[in-house]
């Protein structure tokens, strides 16, 4: 399987970076081809351009500035996202990746009758997210309603690819996590990713 591993964190020594390295190592060890898309190191610009927005509902979306990322997405059989949740949401660079790359004609088509969008990422069979929060479990789930999980599963994965296998693995309360808890989480990530 060819996996697009999308990493979104500005620090190369972050826990997210350790998670991305662990996932890549396990996937490659299992014989998968991993295409690491490191949004920060590759200088991805998250800002939707005027041409992109202007063409969003046109017959042809202007994807000229992100065509390389689109090609990588279309070549993948699965996506693994690695990112922290900040303010109960995606880092801006990852949100911009969805805005610009998961675009009309690429990830979906608009329904001409004005109904539900039509999924186009038929190549994507697996959609996983490896993420962290600074808040405890109860704040994310009970108080906030787990917004990132809902957005990824119901709003992105399901709308862009039918019958996709979705999984989100989260370490809550990272800001107070001990080294032992972080190590246990990385081992959990390794064990779960090894099933792909």
Pairing verdict, β 33-38 and 2-7: parallel
* Domain span including residue 19: 2-193
Model pTM score:
0.95
What one-character DSSP code corresponds to residue 104? B
Q: Domain count of the chain?
A: 1
List alpha helices for the chain, DSSP H: 15-29, 50-54, 67-75, 92-101, 137-138, 147-150, 158-160, 179-193
pLDDT band at 111 (very low <50, low <70, confident <90, very high): confident
Question: pLDDT value at position 159?
Answer: 87
Residue-averaged pLDDT of the chain: 94
Q: Are 184 and 22 in contact (CB under 8 A)?
A: no
Phi and psi torsions of 133, nearest 5° = -130, 155
From residue 190, how far is each of 77, 82, 86, 194, 195 by CA, in Å?
20, 13, 24, 6, 9
DSSP state of 110: -
pLDDT computed for residue 115 by the predictor: 75
Smallest CA-to-CA distance from 10 within 35, 34, 52, 46 is with 46
Residue 70 CB neighbour total at 10 angstroms: 19
Task: Convert the pLDDT of each residue in 73-108 to its tens digit.
Answer: 999 999 999 999 999 999 999 999 999 999 999 999
Q: What is the CATH number of the domain that holds 6?
A: 3.40.50.360
Model pLDDT, residue 10: 97
Residue 63's CB is within 10 A of a number of other CB atoms, namely 20
| CA 167/CA 85 separation, integer angstroms | 16
pLDDT reading at 185 higher than 80: yes
């Amino acid at each position: 399987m060819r996996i697009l591993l999308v990493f979104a964190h500005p620090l190369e020594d972050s826990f997210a970076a350790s998670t991305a390295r662990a996932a890549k190592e396990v996937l490659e060890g299992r014989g998968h081809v991993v295409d690491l898309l490191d949004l920060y190191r590759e200088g991805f610009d998250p800002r939707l351009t005027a041409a992109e927005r202007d063409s969003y509902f046109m017959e042809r979306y202007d994807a000229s500035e992100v065509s390389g990322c689109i090609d990588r997405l279309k070549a993948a059989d699965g996506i693994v996202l690695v990112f922290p949740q900040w303010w109960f949401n995606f880092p801006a660079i990852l949100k911009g990746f969805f805005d610009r790359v998961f675009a009309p004609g690429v990830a979906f088509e608009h329904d001409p009758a004005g109904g539900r969008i039509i999924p186009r990422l038929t190549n994507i069979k697996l959609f996983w997210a490896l993420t962290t929060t600074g808040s405890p479990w109860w704040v994310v789930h009970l108080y906030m309603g787990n917004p990132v999980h809902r957005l990824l599963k119901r709003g992105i994965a399901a709308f862009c690819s039918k019958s996709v296998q979705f999984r989100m693995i989260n370490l809550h309360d990272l800001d107070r996590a001990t080294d032992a808890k972080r190590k246990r989480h990385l081992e959990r990530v390794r064990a779960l990713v090894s099933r792909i």
